[in-house]
A and B are shown apart, each in its own frame.
Chain A
Amino acid sequence: MSWITGVGMTSFGRHQDSDTLSLMSEAAMAALKDAGLERRQIDGLICGYSTTHPHLMLSTVFAEHFGLMLSIAHAMQLGGATGLAMLMLASELVLSGAAEHVLVVAGENRLSGQSSVDTLRSLAQVGHPTYEVPLGPTIPAYYALVASRYMHKYGVTEEDLAEHAVVMRSHAVNHPGAHHKQLIGLSDVMSSRVIASPLKLLDCCPVSDGGAAFVVSRERTGDIGVQVIGCAQAHTHQHVSAARDLTQFGASRSLKEAVAKSGATVADADYFAIYDSFTITLTILLEELGIAPRGEAGKMAREGWFGRDGRFPLNTHGGLLSYGHCGCAGAMAHLVEAQLQLTGRAEGRQVKSPTVALLHGDGGVLSSHVTAFLERVR
């Protein structure tokens, strides 16, 4: 098994004088310190991409800047699934013997490094350049199309979606690093302006500056170990027009594989880190993973199941919806929080002694899925 030996991240929000390398460096320094490792002990590096620092070789650009001499280096591009896919690759690398300690890092000044129109436009390029982008869609519009069909089939309401934004914000108020820390209620979400119906402003994650990092090692470096006990992926399509069905996705397939590899099940998990770019994303993933029955994730959110003291404590840092979203590091924040929870270091957000965490990320338009189980080992 591989171990997550250290984690670190910056606050998310506006970091006016930051850039990709400075945010990556800050997070990487925190993760190394947490793991008790020196730069010279890191022999593998995997980094995410950055829309504000596009480069053919971002991993070695960062390695040179940060001061790493590596045996293996990768940069990965898998949209929102990148963070957990990097975890899976890092885990495979240390298990294969290719590296001893792999630093995984991403950061981006996505908020302050470009205009919001540029961000919308660059992200919309996830669409098909010939058959979709010329129609003037946006990322929220792609997910709104999914939402319309999913809600139609399972009877999900806009209020059901809104509940998740309320829960994520109630978590973020307890994290000093969160992008949005002002409490909101259902009516705030419902009355926020429409971005692409049925999605409103507060159904969408913000665009943030930030960075996150973790170290995956062959052996543990601290007293309390967090083991990666199983990861799996599923890739079904890229473009929303090419998705066979907008009412079921690849998440159940990647979960099934991760369960087979880890021996853990959803029922075993007592902490949950689920990708939440939009409230519909979280709704679908919670239901697709079997944490909630189809059509009932919103009701369960309303009933408190996903709170710190609920049966399924979820994204206690506030998730993408409120901690914030800065690209690849966005989903990595979910992992950082899961590691803190498993090691009992989540301070005021601490869930009562969790032992197994279920993590899930998606990229594209619910196109790429990664599921991972982590386990605390004393």
Chain B
Amino acid sequence: MSGPPISHRSWTSGHPALCFQTCPVCGHAWYFQRPFCPACGDLAPESKVASGHGRLYALTTVERAPGESWQSMAPYNIVLVDADEGFRVMGHGAMGLRIGDRVTVGFITHENQMLPFFEASSLPAKKETT
């Protein structure tokens, strides 16, 4: 792996990027960072920055939030997106999204916490998947 550890480039540490890992041995792709492949155990996974494009898999609008800070933001959408690279990611989502929509990630900040925020894609999909 070259460059800084992936956690330094991800939204989880305040950098506007969505990162994932793939296994050079078995081809598995996943989202939660770890130093091995959870499918085959290989010890040299590759860390990558995702394109940010995907398809909306699941969606909820949170009205009852966990605490005052979040309640001030409610209602907000929490979404699961199937990224084009083959991993699934949770994020916030724009109002009006529907399951199956093509979406693209952006980043917002709530109380010093950066969050992935998905909106409807303006670009046509490269490849149709369901």
Contacts and interface: CB of A to CB of B under 8 A. Distances in A.
Q: Are A and B physically bound partners?
A: yes
Interface of A: 117, 120-121, 124, 128, 130-132, 134-138, 140-141, 144-149, 152, 193-199, 239-242, 246
Contacts of A198: 60
A121 B61 contact: no
A317 to B, nearest CB: 26
Contacts of B107: none
A130 B90 CA distance: 11
Given A195-B63, A246-B58, 10 more contacts: A135-B115, A138-B64, A145-B58, A196-B64, A196-B78, A197-B60, A197-B61, A241-B31, A241-B89, A242-B32
Contact of A121 (B58, B63, B67, B100): B67
9 contacts: A130-B32, A131-B89, A135-B91, A135-B92, A144-B62, A145-B58, A145-B59, A198-B60, A242-B88
A198 B61 CA distance: 8
Among A137, A146, A193, max chain B CB count under 10 A is at A137
A148 B90 contact: no
B32 A128 contact: yes
Nearest to B87: A241
B73 interface: yes
A129 to B, nearest CB: 10
Contacts of A242: 31-32, 88
A121 B115 CA distance: 18
Given A149-B99, A195-B63, A242-B32, A137 B90 contact: yes
B88 to A, nearest CB: 6
Interface of B: 12, 31-32, 57-68, 70, 73, 76, 78-80, 88-92, 99-100, 110, 113, 115
Nearest to B110: A136
B60 A134 contact: no
Nearest first, the 4 closest Cβ-Cβ pairs linking A and B are: A144-B60, A136-B70, A145-B58, A149-B58
A147 B68 CA distance: 26
Contacts of A117: 66-68
Contacts of B57: 149, 246
A196 B79 CA distance: 12
Given A135-B92, A240-B90, A194 B12 contact: no
Contacts, number: 99
Contact of B90 (A120, A147, A199, A241): A241
Contacts of B73: 136
Given A136-B76, A148-B99, A196 B62 contact: yes
A149 B112 CA distance: 31
B38 to A, nearest CB: 9
B60 A148 contact: yes
B80 A241 contact: yes
Contacts of A241: 31-32, 80, 88-90
A147 B58 CA distance: 8
Contacts of A246: 57-58, 80
Nearest to B30: A242
B64 to A, nearest CB: 5
Contacts of B70: 136
Given A146-B58, A152-B99, A196-B64, A141 B88 contact: no
A121 B66 contact: yes
A241 to B, nearest CB: 5
Nearest to B65: A136
A193 to B, nearest CB: 7
Nearest to B100: A152
Contacts of A148: 58-60, 99
Contacts of A144: 60, 62
Given A128-B32, A145-B78, A241-B90, A136 B66 contact: yes
A136 B66 CA distance: 6
Among B57, B65, B66, B100, max chain A CB count under 10 A is at B66
Given A149-B57, A240-B80, A241-B90, A134 B113 contact: yes
Contact of B31 (A131, A196, A199): A131
Contact of A141 (B62, B68, B89): B62
